[in-house]
Structures are given as C-alpha cells and as structure tokens.
Amino acid sequence: MREITYAEAIREALRHEMKLDDKVFIFGEDVGAFGGCFGVTAGLFQEFGPERVMDTPISESAILGTALGAALMGLRPVPEIMFVDFTTVCFDYLTNQAPKVRYMCGGQVEKLPLVVRTTSGGWIRAAGQHSQSLEGWFTQVPGLKVVMPATPYDAKGLLLAALRDNNPVLFIEEKALYATSGPVPEGEYLVPLGQADVKRAGKDITLITYAGMLGHTLAAAQTLASAGIDAEVVDLRTLSPLDHDTLAKSVQKTHKAVVIQEACEMGGVAAQVVKSLVDTSFGFLDAPIKTVAALNTVIPFSPPLEDITLPSADKVVQAAKALMS
C-alpha cells in the first residue's frame, strides 16, 4: 500500500468529500491560496475556487458563527480554527450553541452537520499560547463529538466519517504529526467514530493513549519488550464518545494499565479513562492505574524545558515498570 503523510491524508479526505458533495465547503484563516498555516489545504483553493475554499478575517467567533448558520441552512461547513488555543475566542459557539441546537428546537432541526478542524499539541517550540492540548474541555460537552487521530490511515478514515456525520464534530489534528507517514488506501473507507483500536497486542500491561502520544507509547512498548514486558497499546481515536468496551477488554486481559495524554495532568481525558476502567474492570486490576501527562505548567518556549514538561516514551517506560514491579 502507498504511504502518504498525515497532512496529505487529511487533504485527501477533504478533497474526496468536496468532489462527492457540493454542500461541503472549507473556510478559515489562510486556508485559501496560502494553503493553510500547516499546508493541509494546499491546492484545494485552486481546485474548487474561492466559493468553496474561503479565507476569513481573523475572527474565530465570526468563523464558527458563520459555520453554525450554514449548517442550519443545510450546508456542510468545515471551518478551521488555526490552533486549539484559539477556540477560547469562539467557545460559546463551540460549546453552548452548535452542540445544543438539536436538543432545543423541538425537532425542527433534524441535523447539524458541522466539522470543526483545529490543531493541538506541543513539540514545535511555539510556547504557551500555541502549544496547548485542550481536548479534555470539549469532552465535557454533550452533543459534541471529539476526534483525535494518531496515524495517516485513521486521519483519513475518521475525517470521512466525521464529514458524513449529522452532528457537530471537533476534529483535532496533532501539529507534530503532519509530516509523519503511513499506509493509506487510495479509495474511500470510513473509520467509525467512537471505536478505539488496539495498535499493538500484548498480555502483560495495557498502555492507553491517543493522538501524538501514540508514537511515544509504541516506542515505550518496544523498550519494555526488550525487558521482557509485553505491552498492549490501545489508541482511543475518538475521545467522545469513549469506547469503554475496548478499554475494558484489554485491561481485563492484562490486569494493569497506564493511561497517557499530552495534556496537563489535572483533569482531562486520562482521568475519564481511569474512571471508565474503575467502573468496568476494578476487580480485574492487580495494581492501581497510573497516568502519564504533561506537568501542570504553561508550555515553555525553551526546547529543553518543553521536553521536560511534556510526557515522553521514557516516562511511559518508567510508569509501566513501576506497575510491573
């Protein structure tokens, strides 16, 4: 199978759906002729024209307000918020308006197809206002699906599924993954929302993670294997709704778990995963569940300090070995 980058996989999904459905259109800051801050929408402006790939003013509230109106009128908008940090500017539309419309209109709104693309995470030395991992906030919002792919294959398949969903979806792309490559089929395929995936089978311990931390976690699993520890790695892929069954099945097999997130340790997705495992698998656990996460501090601009702040493969190995001992 051919290999393409994470960014190319996302672009391919967008192009496929735009060709298939003329109601799909993209808009945001610099997504047009410039091709997007990270080059993801490159070439789409030239292919589909300014009516379907639109540059906007620097106003996140205007972007999502327009998206909400367009979805209500039967279009399938794909707005881009350049960094997840900037969702704070349009938080009302993303959490208080779009996810609740179908619940508050007495059945008059049958669907609200809206896919908000944004980027997340550190490792690109962009400091405290462009490096956050805020996905945990949005899992608190009923009516909003939250997706974070870790591989090019999943990026394409999950985005195609999100673009066909009739509910608001927050599709968060890890900036540090854009240049990574992997096998991706040329044709159409969907990865269902709400299904986790076992990326590495194992029998001794379960490592649960998502998005940019998957690569670090798989590297940790290799290191653990050299020490005789067979780790199973589960990629959440969709954060809301959470796939409780896959998590329970893995941990009930291995009896131990480490949950890894790039976001700060306080709150977030890892805490919800731990809660899920306590609810479904407490009696199967041989040891307390451990978590690995970023320190509760602002992401530093200094590369050495950022490396200390964010989780790593070494930290995952240390946590796993502590459980095994």
Show which residues are catalytic. Answer: 60, 130
Task: Output b/e per residue, 154-172; b: 16+ Cβ within 10 A.
Answer: bbbbbbbbbbbbebbbbbb
The answer to whether 239 and 268 are in contact (CB under 8 A) is no
Residue 203 CB coordination number (10 Å): 12
> Which class for 103: exposed (0-12), middle (13-18), buried (19 or more C-beta within 10 A)?
exposed
Rounded CA-CA distance 325/127 in Å is: 37
The answer to whether 26 and 80 are in contact (CB under 8 A) is yes
Q: Which residue has the tokens 């608001």?
A: 168
Rounded CA-CA distance 226/247 in Å is: 25
Q: Which residues contact 107 (CB under 8 A, 6 or more apart)?
A: none
Rounded CA-CA distance 42/31 in Å is: 8
Largest CA distance in the chain: 60
Please write down the HEC assignment for all residues of 186-238: CCCCCCCCCCCEEEECCCCEEEEECCCHHHHHHHHHHHHHHCCCCEEEEECCE
Tokens describing residue 8 = 């190319």
Tokens describing residue 59 = 């106003």
Q: Which residue has the tokens 């095994």?
A: 324
